[in-house]
Chain A
Amino acid sequence: MPRWEENGLAQAHPSPDTFAKFLLLNAERFRGRPAMRHKDYGIWQSWTWEEQLEEVRAFALGLQTVGLKRGDKVAVVGANRPRLYWTFAAVQSLGAVPVPVYADSVAEEMAYVLDHAEVKYAVVEDQEQVDKLLSISEKAPHLKEIVYDEPRGLGDYDHAHLHAYSTLREAGLKRLSEEPSAAEAWLSEVEKGRGADLAVMLYTSGTTGRPKGVMLSNDNLVRSALNGNAFDKLTENESIIAYLPLAWVGDHLFSYAQSYTAGFCVACPESAETVNEDRREIAPTYFFAPPRVFETLLTAIMVRMEDAGRLKKWMFDHFLAHARKVGEPLLNGEAVGLWGRIKYALGEFLVYGPLKNRLGLSRMRVGYTAGEAIGPELFSFYRSIGLNLKQLYGQTEATVYITAQPDGKIRPDTVGLPSPEVEIRIDESGEVLYRSPGVFMGYYKNEEATRDTKTAEGWVRTGDAGFFDRDGQLKIIDRAKDVGKFASGALFAPKYIENALKFFPDIKEAVAFGHGRDFCAAFVNIDLAAVGSWAERNNIAYASYQELAGHDRVYETIAAHVAEANRRLAAEPLMAASQIRRFLVLHKELDADDGELTRTQKVRRSYIAERYGELIEALYDGSTEKYVETEVTYEDGRKGVLRATVRIADAEVFPAAAETMQEAAE
């Protein structure tokens, strides 16, 4: 194959303002270095930056053959695959706008986004997505052409408006070899791109109402990515694994914008089920995960350790106890005694090293968790075994970065200092506002929402309540609109309470209630992996989630956890009033398909309150059980009804910290 500059492409930009220009630059400055990997047929296939450029150009030229023009919107739906990432660059190179959509959204949600964004083209992963799009074609009248990557099962479909990715790619390559001006023409399209142009539209799943299309410009993404690279000293030597949804701003920044600006290699896993294995093989140096992923990883390890031999278990417990003592100080560069260091080194050899290897994090240099508050003990666990895990606070509207914790200044209960070039202020109601180069252009076709969120001076409302602590680190309490008051006037911060419960591996999800009420009450979802394993070891037979959730001994366990959470809440003066008096274990798992969680797995509290109103009343009216019927939606869209009698239990509460001290004094 001819080298690309022989086709007249050697016009790398000195300081690129679009990703297509970065691609040209990288093909020159990172020649021969890997840009993309994908595990396929059991082997890591890789593409260098030059090859990635070839792929992007070929597909862009192919897209032109089906009529893609500047300004057109292109939906991108599917898992993390090289071709979908190339689609971003190919589409942008022609001045069109990619609109990544959550691949697991049900047809109805997808129809709304496609229609609202006026999407004309869609590039999707496989038959599943093609079927979904065809089923909603009436509701998305702008959609003209669909391109699919995986041809399996699509052989018999009418291909009038359906194209295989490989067909377009070949059409592009054919144009390159047959039309002498094709390469030139593509390059001039790339040159037309400007930093201020709309680069991508990301629909926020939103805890309330319809999703909104956040418009981010090339400048937003490039500046934020470069600032992030500098903050964490990211270079072309990093390696990351792309496994979070394409439609999520975090993935777009980490796996696309930062890769193009820093030049590092992005690895795409073989399938969603093999991510953990694949991560172990890649051993990323830069890793991002929502707390849920860290939680799941830890739970899996703890469950396995329960089955380990006695010696191994002793070793594990013993050295982890030591790590809890000295691990974090060591990571923060504080002084630790010689014996402590020697023992930690031994622990590294015997336990922490193998453990990190098991987690696939043995090379991790920078790790972030964000999206939701992480349990302090969970956070400390990872840091204590020597992983530089940090917290980040961000939003789609900010192109991720608002605050981040710098190395060495890590605390589990804050989200860090303002990120580079970000200004933050806190208004009278306690809401956090920010201004930065990453601030979005606006919501697509929604002036009103844009005005509500973004002030004339460019400040953006986060919707989160928070405050700066004495070190200048930002602390987020809850969503500003979720923070409420008990009837007594005491502060009610539901998320804080839920996190106190979710700290226990047995509890997967919790929903706290209490605004305008006399006391706090909660729904609990058990973690099927953790509780199921416990049930197996204790010879407790169960046929379903529902049956296990309602089991007496499970209630006993959960009651103990709730009491423990209450003890902790009681220790904090501000939170003592938030102790959970009554709780119930919900008969079904909260599920995004039923609208109870967002696609990013956040609890939609108001919707749950509405859906389970009867249960909430039962929590407060003193009854000990309640019969409910709940409608559920299966993955294929069919609906069913779940019937259950849910038990309601009382929890142990503790006197507030101040009072205990008084009692002790008396």
Chain B
Amino acid sequence: MNQRPDHMMLTARDDGIAKGDVLLEARNISLAFGGVKALTEISLNILKGEIRAIIGPNGAGKTSMLNVINGFYTPQQGSIVFRGRERRAMKPHHAVGQGIARTFQNVALFKGMSTLDNIMAGRSVMMKRHIGWQMLWHGPALKEEIAHREKVEEIIDFLEIQHIRHTPVGKLPYGLQKRVELGRALAMEPSLLLLDEPMAGMNLEEKEDMSRFIIDVNQQRGTTIALIEHDMGVVMDLSDRVAVLDYGKKIADGTPDAVKNDQGVIDAYLGVPR
């Protein structure tokens, strides 16, 4: 009989860290481009299983922080401890190998490829067969591909994008492209998922859908999520803890309620003459 288990087989990687313990810690990060100081002595941590938001006005250094976390930028000062291992310089593909996946502020998909192929591409880091086998696409390579396809189909089911499985991504509306990008990040089965403005440019309904998916990813798969977002309503509803950056400095960190009532944060957003 062809009964499939009801519950998702895909879960976050087991990284030996209990829920609520520190998964990633940034210590005293400073990053400068020439004379421009993007980040100044920022320390923050991300706990396993939480939804962590990083907010701030334009140019506050949010994306830079994300880029430091996934190894795209190397900070001049400070270090990152991920799953108990300290590092300073790292290539993005090492970050992926360690279980960090991300989406981008501007959708970065392969526009000419179908939804399915885009998400499959997310699995490519996990394909172990030699390139020779993959070119032959027979025997073990095919078997491996089928196993990966199964995982990808689960993601497609999870994100409710069955109807666009074979549609080239470039033809899709923006909201769906964002969803496909989330799918590709999920395909890596990350233990830490970084979302760079997952709801930018979406309408209300698309935002609601996306929020739903983010919560489901977090709750059902136990994936830890760090996100940058401009929509305050969404941030306050979704996240467990919020860090606020302004001019490259961390000015507040805590629960959504605490942050909302912080005078420094209000000033940063409203622009108080200094």
Contacts and interface: CB of A to CB of B under 8 A. Distances in A.
A277 B153 contact: no
Contacts of A1: 1
Interface string B215-243: 11001100000000000000000000000
B85 interface: no
Contacts of A273: 162-163
Given A1-B1, A41-B157, A155-B219, A277 B150 contact: no
A23 B2 CA distance: 20
A150 B160 CA distance: 13
B7 interface: yes
Interface string A36-77: 000011110111000100100000000000000000000000
A46 B1 CA distance: 9
A152 interface: yes
A270 interface: yes
Interface in A261-302: 270-271, 273-274, 277
A40 B216 CA distance: 20
A516 interface: no
A270 B158 CA distance: 13
A15 B165 CA distance: 45
Given A40-B4, A45-B2, A51-B1, A274 B220 contact: no
Given A271-B162, A274-B163, A41 B216 contact: no
A164 interface: yes
Nearest to B152: A42
B218 to A, nearest CB: 11
B6 interface: yes
Nearest to A43: B153
A38 to B, nearest CB: 9
10 contacts: A41-B4, A41-B154, A42-B149, A42-B165, A43-B153, A45-B4, A151-B7, A152-B220, A164-B6, A166-B6
Contacts of B154: 41
Nearest to A1: B1
Contacts of A270: 162-163
A46 B157 CA distance: 18
What 6 pairs across the A-B complex have the smallest Cβ distances? A273-B163, A41-B153, A274-B163, A42-B153, A166-B6, A270-B162
Contacts of B156: 41-42
Nearest to B6: A166
A235 B165 CA distance: 34
Given A41-B4, A153-B220, A274-B163, 10 more contacts: A41-B153, A41-B154, A41-B157, A42-B162, A153-B219, A155-B219, A166-B6, A270-B163, A271-B162, A273-B163
Interface in B149-197: 149-150, 153-154, 156-158, 160, 162-163, 165
A158 interface: no
Contacts of B216: 152-153
Contact of B1 (A54, A153, A277): A54
A156 interface: yes
Interface size class of B (residues with CB under 8 A): 20 to 34
Contacts of A155: 219-220
Contacts of A166: 6
A271 B219 CA distance: 24
Contacts of B7: 151
Interface in B18-72: none
A156 B4 contact: no
A103 B158 CA distance: 20
Contacts of A41: 4, 150, 153-154, 156-157
Instruction: Give chain B's interface secondary structure class.
Output: helix
Contact of B2 (A46, A151, A153): A46
A164 B5 CA distance: 12
B6 A151 contact: yes
B163 A277 contact: yes
Interface string A146-176: 0000111101100000001010000000000
Interface string A1-44: 10000000000000000000000000000000000000011110
A71 to B, nearest CB: 30
Contacts of B6: 150-151, 164, 166
A382 to B, nearest CB: 24
A110 B4 CA distance: 31
Nearest to B151: A41
Contacts of A274: 162-163
Contacts of B153: 41-43
A273 B167 CA distance: 13
A47 B163 CA distance: 23
Interface string A214-233: 00000000000000000000
B105 to A, nearest CB: 26
A117 to B, nearest CB: 28
A439 B162 CA distance: 41
A277 B162 CA distance: 10
Contacts of B165: 42
Given A152-B216, A152-B220, A156-B219, A271 B163 contact: yes
A274 B149 CA distance: 19
A51 B3 CA distance: 11
Contacts of B149: 42
Contacts of B4: 40-41, 45
Contacts of A271: 160, 162-163
Nearest to B220: A155
Contacts of B160: 271
Nearest to B154: A41
Contacts of A152: 158, 216, 220
Nearest to B116: A42
Nearest to B5: A166
A150 B150 CA distance: 18
B157 A40 contact: yes
Nearest to A167: B6
A156 B216 CA distance: 11
A274 B157 CA distance: 12
Nearest to A149: B6
A164 B215 CA distance: 21
B22 to A, nearest CB: 24
Nearest to A54: B1
Contacts of A47: 1-2
Contacts of B212: 153
Nearest to A153: B216
Interface in A536-557: none
